Amino acid sequence: MTSLAVFLRGINVGGVRLSMAALQQALKDADYDGVSTVLATGNVLLDSGGRTAADVKTEVEGVLRAAFGYEAWVIVKTPDQVREIVAGYPFGRDTSTHHAYGVLATSADVISEVVESVSPEDMAAAGERVAAHGDVLWWECPKGSSLDTPISKYLAKAKFKPHVTTRNLNTFDKVLAKI
C-alpha cells in the first residue's frame, strides 16, 4: 500500500471546524486504512490502497463534502514529495522574527500566477520573501503580518480556494516525522 499525505484546505480556521477523530472515522468508513492525523489543522496520513494520488484527492474531497457538509478541497502528496518540499525550504530556519510558510498548489501554474502578480517592490516593502519551486511557494513574512502582506492578500482571492493550502514549516516537519 502507498502512504499519502493529504492536506485539507481551510479547516479549523474561520468557520469550518472538524474534530480529528471524526475526520479519521469518516476516512476509515470510506475504506482507507492507516488513517492518522498530524496536529488539528487538516493533515492526514493514509494508505491509498493502490489508488492514485489524483483518485485519493477526488475521493477524499467527496467524503469530506458528504460527511461534514462543506466545500472541501485537498492537496495530496507522496512521502517523497513531502521530503522534497521540506528539503527545498530556501530560507534560514531561524523563525524568531518571521513566519515560514509553504503554499501547496494544484499546479505550478497557480504558483507562477501568484509570483508574477505581486510586485517584488511591494513584497520587499512588506518584509516578505518568496521562492517558487514547482507547485510549492515558500513564503516568509514578518511575525504578526500573515494576513496583511501582498502575497497573503493575493492568495485570499476566492479563485484560489480550490487550488492552494498553506502550512507553516513546523507543520511540514511534523508531517514528515510521521511518514
Predicted pLDDT at 16: 78
- 72 and 85 share a domain? no
Exposure of 117 by Cβ count < 10 A (0-12 exposed, 13-18 middle, 19+ buried)? Answer: exposed
- 85 and 158 share a domain? yes
Q: What is the pLDDT of residues 8-39, one digit of tens each?
A: 998 866 667 889 999 999 999 999 999 999 99
- 62 and 91 share a domain? no
Q: How many domains does the chain have?
A: 2
Backbone angles phi, psi at 104, to 5 degrees: -90, 135
Evaluate if residue 2 carries a pLDDT over 80. no
**Three-state secondary-structure class, residue 35:** strand
Evaluate whether residue 179 is within a structural domain: no
| Domain extent at residue 87 | 80-169
Look at the alpha carbons of 51, 85, 44, 150 in this order and tell me if their dihedral is positive or negative: negative
Evaluate whether residue 175 is within a structural domain: no
Q: Do residues 97 and 141 touch, judged by C-beta distance below 8 A?
A: no
**Mind spelling out the 3-state secondary structure of 93-152?**
CCCCCEEEEEEEECCHHHHHHHHHHCCHHHHHHHCCEEEEECCEEEEEEECCCCCCCHHH
- 84 and 161 share a domain? yes
- 109 and 134 share a domain? yes
- 97 and 126 share a domain? yes
Q: What is the pLDDT of residues 46-84, one digit of tens each?
A: 999 999 999 999 999 999 999 999 899 999 999 999 999
